[in-house]
Homo-oligomer: A and B are copies of this chain.
């Protein structure tokens, strides 16, 4: 089953026992994936995936409602200062790694003003990557805004700002500390802010700290603006994936000693 190709659909495409395919989806299934009439694929709807089969009338037949995949164990808000180039790939790879909401921001050292078409482009890339990586939900991407305004919109409990070349504690150390790990909300929310080429200005770090962001390090090397988000998201997502599986074990059995 898991080897079947997947597309992402919206609820209004479902009509009785049929799935009305968009032109782009039809092209993808028939031309790119070369599926034939009768071939099966998976249609990811927001509630749960469907097993579907292509019919000859530009639609697909819904065969079976599949059990929903469990949601990702953490909602990561990535606040990313727009780099000069390479943000398309940040969107694609962050989506694969499980970002929840992407907040592109303009910082003091950001050199470009993105055109309004960029947001649509990023949303399209995120939707494509969601299908490819077999996620069930597409991450939200906000319109680019100034750093200060984005800082104040964030309502997450845990907020971090990545600062290079200083003695901040490692992100993984923060994640493992009792204050972070002893809460047990449904889906924890984590915000992480990553600076542009050249880093944040001192004023920006001060603003973030005033909004309860903790400065963190991602290790002994200096990561580029297109690499740091991936490392941060991989660490947060992996930490909570593991924690979730440990919590499930605890729910099922007497609590073991976890070291």
Assembled-state Cα–Cα distance A32/B217 (Å): 28
Are B178 and A259 within 8 A (Cβ)?
yes
Cβ-based interface call for A165 (8 A): yes
Q: Within 8 Å of chain B (Cβ to Cβ): is A93?
A: yes
| A172 contacts across to B, CB distance below 8 A | 238-239, 241-242
Residues of B within 8 A of A219 (CB): 97-98, 237-238, 241
Partner of A97, one of B93, B132, B223, B238: B223
Residue of B at shortest CB range from A221?
B133
Question: Could you tell me if B242 and A133 are in contact, using CB atoms closer than 8 angstroms?
Answer: no
Does A224 make an interface contact (CB < 8 A)?
yes
**Copies of this chain held together in the complex:** 2
Residues in A29-67 with C-beta less than 8 Å from chain B: none
Contact A93 B227 (CB under 8 A): yes
Stretch with Cβ within 8 A of B (4 or more), from A153-161, A204-212, A228-236: A228-236
For A223, list chain B residues within 8 Å (CB). 96-97, 133
User: Is there contact, CB below 8 Å, between B221 and A134?
Assistant: yes
Interface residue ranges of A119-173 to B (CB < 8 Å): 132-135, 165, 170-173
A112 at the B interface (CB under 8 A): no
Once the chains bind, are B170 and A231 in contact (CB under 8 Å)?
A: no
Q: Given the complex of chains A and B, what is the CA–CA distance between A206 and B98 in angstroms? A: 29
Q: Check A70 against B220 for contact (C-beta < 8 Å).
A: yes
Q: B132, B165, B245: which contacts A170 (Cβ < 8 A)?
A: B245
- How far is A204 from B191 in the complex, measured between Cα atoms in Å? 39
A to B CB contacts below 8 Å, 9 in the list:
A3-B165, A72-B220, A93-B226, A93-B227, A96-B221, A132-B222, A172-B239, A230-B231, A234-B235
6 other A-B residue contacts (CB within 8 Å) besides A133-B223, A219-B241: A96-B221, A96-B224, A133-B221, A172-B242, A173-B242, A230-B231
